[in-house]
Amino acid sequence: MVFGWFLVLTGAISWALTGFLRRYALAKNLIDIPNERSSHSLPTPRGGGVAIVAAFLAVVPVLNRFDWLSNPVCLALWGAGGIVALTGFLDDHGHIAARWRLLVHFAAAAWGLYWLGGCPPLVVFGYVLDLGRLGLPAAAIYIVWLLNLYNFMDGIDGLAGIEAITVCCGGALTVWLVAPESNAWLSPLLLAIAVLGFLFWNFPPARIFMGDAGSGFLGITLALLSLQAAWIEPRLFWVWLILLGVFIVDASVTLCRRVLRGEKFYEAHRSHAYQYASRVWAAHRPVTLAIGAINVFWLLPVAGLVALDKLDGMVGLAVAYSPLVYFAYRYKAGDSRAQAGSSE
């Protein structure tokens, strides 16, 4: 009952603060102006993701005070998430060179890994793989990649919010199913509610955008929550990768195809599959809702089978990702020439 009130408080803080940030952005002229690389057509205030950061981080110490969240996890989420959010906020208000942002991202990943205890063991085809310190570089790259791909995928109204809510709820449910005695399901549920308050303003047609502060914070927090879950039960890492499948597949296929074509992959573009789909359907809402439906009705059941040990994690990952890879190619992920020639 007490935690329920904390959820209500978190959602209310996020909702109210997003409204305040919208007025602030309008007053300070923090407006996202559409250009040829944009997926929106109207000037829109940005920076609303700060409300997610503030609402979530404000309640995390309270969970720690009630012994619902351990000190190391609290420090991991607060330190890594806060560093990334602050960097994104400064970048939203000006510009920080990509190399310095990347350096901060790896520093935040190192901080999170330190407090979480490093790289957790994984179950690969029934065998436990514990890399120990050798796994730290791979874990850091995983965190930084998920952080940045979340920023890449925050390109149409409501998408990043719907993804975070469905992934967090699915992650909370599977942790509760596997380890009901653990409180590890509380953090993702709290994050989902914080995002819900923001989504009220961001659902298509969006009245404010998330900005780098919010998308980067969500990316690194989801990565850390997935590693925390893996420490509880190694197969839960595959569960989180499955739940994040739409974002991981679209971003990864897009990046690989752009690199193979010799394009400057680090430059802004709009060649993701979800962006192409939004132009084909001439609206953001159906794409956002379709991806939410995929998460709930396809990825969550597969993830549930893996969580309950009815399906091997690697096999479940292949099953879950196969149709996603097909749709990524179907909707021209990474093929900027094909997108430009068939979408205008």
Q: Quick check: helix, strand or coil at residue 190?
A: helix
> What would the DSSP string read from start to end of 77-119?
HHHHHHHHHHHHHHHHHS---HHHHHHHHHHHHHHHHHHHTSS
Q: Which two tokens stand for residue 270?
A: 């709009």
The helix, strand and coil proportions of the chain, stated in percent and rounded to the nearest 5, come to: 70, 5, 25
Q: Which two tokens stand for residue 149?
A: 């791909």
pLDDT at 36: 58
> 50-65 and 186-202 are packed helices; what angle lies between their axes, rounded to 10 degrees?
160
pLDDT at 236: 96
- Its pTM stands at 0.94
- Judge whether 193 and 136 are in contact, CB under 8 Å: no
* Residues in Cβ contact with 220 at an 8 Å cutoff, skipping those fewer than 6 apart: 80, 81, 84, 105, 108, 109, 112, 143, 146, 147
Residue 170 CB neighbours (<10 A): 25
Closest residue by Cα to residue 290 from 121, 133, 147, 163: 163
Alpha carbon distance 188, 168 (integer Å): 5
pLDDT at 238: 97
pLDDT at 263: 80
pLDDT at 344: 38
Q: What is the pLDDT along the chain (344 residues), one digit of tens a residue?
A: 788 889 999 999 999 999 999 999 999 888 877 765 666 767 889 899 999 999 999 999 999 998 899 999 999 999 999 999 999 999 877 788 888 999 999 999 999 999 999 999 988 888 888 888 889 999 999 999 999 999 989 989 999 999 999 999 999 999 999 998 889 999 999 999 999 999 999 999 999 999 999 999 999 999 999 999 999 999 999 999 999 999 999 999 999 998 888 887 667 778 899 999 999 998 999 999 999 999 999 999 999 999 999 999 999 999 999 999 999 999 998 887 766 655 43
pLDDT at 94: 76
DSSP-H helix ranges across 281-312: 285-294, 300-307
pLDDT at 253: 95
Q: How many CA atoms lie within 13 A of 99 on its CB side?
A: 0
**Would you say the C-alpha torsion 194, 247, 159, 291 has a positive or negative sign?**
negative
pLDDT at 41: 67
Do you know the residue count of the chain?
344
DSSP-H helix ranges across 179-234: 186-202, 211-232
